[in-house]
A and B are shown apart, each in its own frame.
Chain A
């Protein structure tokens, strides 16, 4: 996974190198690649027979855990963000 970082770094260096030129297509390109990745993620799930078969029974439990975990972490982030803002004032 850490090799992904090398691509970010290579991108940052390239971007810095071309910083004086306007590159308009970059945001559209990023969005398109997100679409491709999400499509591939869907394929991966859909082609996994085990996941598909158990989707209904296990999906609900997974969803509740996901929502609770995400909500807990964003509340943590809100508290940290609040403490940062108070500190600045």
Chain B
């Protein structure tokens, strides 16, 4: 938990510095984040490659794990439907937000384009929150929902931003599942968002 609070404090510090314009605008450019992400991925890959038994361990996991992206999408929609009565937005609008699956940058741009800035902002916040929930609560999810749950929670981010946390929480043998899951999600998010925005 201490580690999660440290992570959150870095986000909070960034947020405050951003709000009060304490740093140049260029610091928040996606290019910088992207290069840091690439560096992160290299070293995460390094830690996987450093242990060649990882892939062999994954082969022992049941092939039914291939259905994980499907259960993630169905579970996400079931969750969104369960709370849809609370809001004035239409069910399809809310499902479009859920279709972001944590991929906040792309989903919020698409939804803003299709449905306007308000729903786009909700998509941005909601999917950032999904990522933060995953980063903070991964160990708790593992305890109550099993080793696949941090991957399901991470949605489309399990190939990049939540990948290191998932590997640390579920174990290195789940790194391939995590990459597989994120890869499928990244493919499907634009299609799912567009589908629900078309209603």
A interface residues (Cβ-Cβ under 8 A, vs B):
1-5, 7-19, 23, 26-27, 29-31, 33-48, 50-52, 54-55, 58-59, 61-84, 87-88
Contact = CB atoms under 8 A, between A and B. Distances in A.
A48 to B, nearest CB: 8
B97 interface: yes
Interface of B: 3, 6-8, 10-21, 23, 25, 27-28, 30, 32-33, 36-52, 61-62, 64-65, 67-68, 71-80, 82-83, 86-87, 89, 94, 97-98, 101, 117-118, 121-130, 133-135, 141, 144-149, 151-153, 155, 159-161, 164-165, 179, 183, 186
B41 A42 contact: no
Contacts of A18: 46, 50
By secondary structure, the A interface counts as: helix
Nearest to A76: B75
Contacts of A74: 75, 141, 145, 149, 152-153
B6 A76 contact: no
- The interface centre, meaning the residue of A10, A67, A70 with most chain B CB atoms within 10 A of its CB, is A70
Contacts of A45: 14-15, 18, 128
A79 to B, nearest CB: 7
- The interface centre, meaning the residue of B37, B64, B71, B80 with most chain A CB atoms within 10 A of its CB, is B71
A4 B36 contact: no
By secondary structure, the B interface counts as: helix
Contacts of B68: 77, 80
A23 B50 contact: yes
Contact of B80 (A23, A44, A72, A84): A72
B64 A44 contact: no
Given A3-B38, A70-B133, A73-B72, 8 more contacts: A5-B183, A13-B49, A62-B122, A63-B125, A66-B130, A66-B133, A76-B74, A81-B149
A46 B19 contact: yes
12 contacts: A35-B6, A38-B8, A43-B23, A44-B14, A47-B19, A54-B121, A65-B122, A68-B83, A70-B79, A77-B71, A80-B71, A84-B64
A1 B186 contact: yes
Contact of B28 (A12, A34, A35, A44): A44
A40 B129 contact: no
B160 to A, nearest CB: 6
A87 B46 contact: no
Nearest to B140: A74
- The interface centre, meaning the residue of B42, B64, B153, B179 with most chain A CB atoms within 10 A of its CB, is B42
